[in-house]
């Protein structure tokens, strides 16, 4: 599929995106004391790796799809340390739980803001450099690149109204 075809196919209603931009900023500010700079969103046309760790949250109900929060390893380590208030050994259950909980807070606040009757799944966290997360190709994926003092991460939103 060409980029143009994907972009044409891949229009996402901004009203579905903005709640995630807001909840990301709020969660990072409140929980980690970090200011988030949102870079230019882009459509992800072809499955490609984003970063090293990804937390995946499924949506079902009136909003269906998946939201992935993907972190560079160094960013994840700094954020989990700030979140837990102490150093947490990477690649342990506690570390994954913390990453998952951050994503859960972002998705949970956005869900509330969306105002739709939807439920979100518990987070699944993927560890592994170069892993690729793919979603059903009938739901376009918008990547929101974010940067903070602790490093870079991305929120990848693939949801639609059911």
Residues that bind its own copies (CB under 8 A): 1, 46-47, 49, 56-61, 64-66, 68, 91, 93-94, 96-97, 100, 119-128, 130-137, 139
Nearer to its own copies, 61 or 115 (CB): 61
Output the smallest distance, CB 84 to its own copies, in A: 14
Q: Say how far apart CA 46 and CA 139 lie, in whole Å.
A: 12
- Whichever of 34 and 63 has its CB closer to its own copies, that residue is 63
**16 vs 34, which CB is nearer to its own copies?**
16
Residue 42 vs 131, nearer CB to its own copies: 131
CB atoms within 10 A of CB 33: 11
Nearest-angstrom CA–CA distance, 104 and 110: 10
> Which of 131, 127, 26, 32 lies closest to 78 in space, CA to CA?
32
Query: 134, 136, 139: which is closest to 54 by C-alpha?
Result: 134
> Considering beta carbons, is residue 75 or 96 the nearer one to its own copies?
96
| CA gap 89, 27 in Å, rounded | 22
Name the minimum Å distance from CB 26 to its own copies. 22
Nearest-approach distance from CB 65 to its own copies, in angstroms: 6
Q: Where does 36-119 have alpha helices with state H?
A: 73-84, 93-114
Shortest separation between residue 54's beta carbon and its own copies, angstroms: 8
Q: How far is the CB of 71 from its own copies (least distance, A)?
A: 14
The tokens 């143009």 sit on which residue? Answer: 4
Q: Helices 14-32 and 93-114, interaxial angle, to 10°?
A: 130
């Amino acid at each position: 599929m060409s980029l143009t075809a994907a972009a044409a196919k891949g229009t996402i209603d901004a009203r579905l995106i903005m709640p995630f931009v807001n909840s990301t900023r709020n969660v990072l500010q409140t929980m980690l004391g970090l200011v988030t700079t949102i870079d230019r969103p882009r459509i992800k046309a072809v499955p490609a790796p984003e970063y090293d760790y990804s937390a995946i949250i499924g949506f079902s109900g009136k909003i269906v799809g998946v939201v992935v929060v993907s972190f560079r390893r160094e960013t994840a380590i700094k954020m989990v340390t700030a979140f837990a208030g102490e150093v947490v050994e990477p690649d342990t259950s506690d570390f994954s739980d913390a990453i998952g909980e951050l994503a859960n807070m972002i998705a949970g606040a956005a869900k509330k803001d969306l105002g739709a009757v939807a439920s979100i799944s518990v987070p699944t966290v993927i560890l592994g450099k170069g892993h690729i997360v793919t979603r059903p190709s009938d739901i376009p994926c918008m990547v929101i690149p974010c940067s903070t003092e602790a490093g870079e991460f991305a929120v990848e939103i693939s949801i639609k109204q059911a």
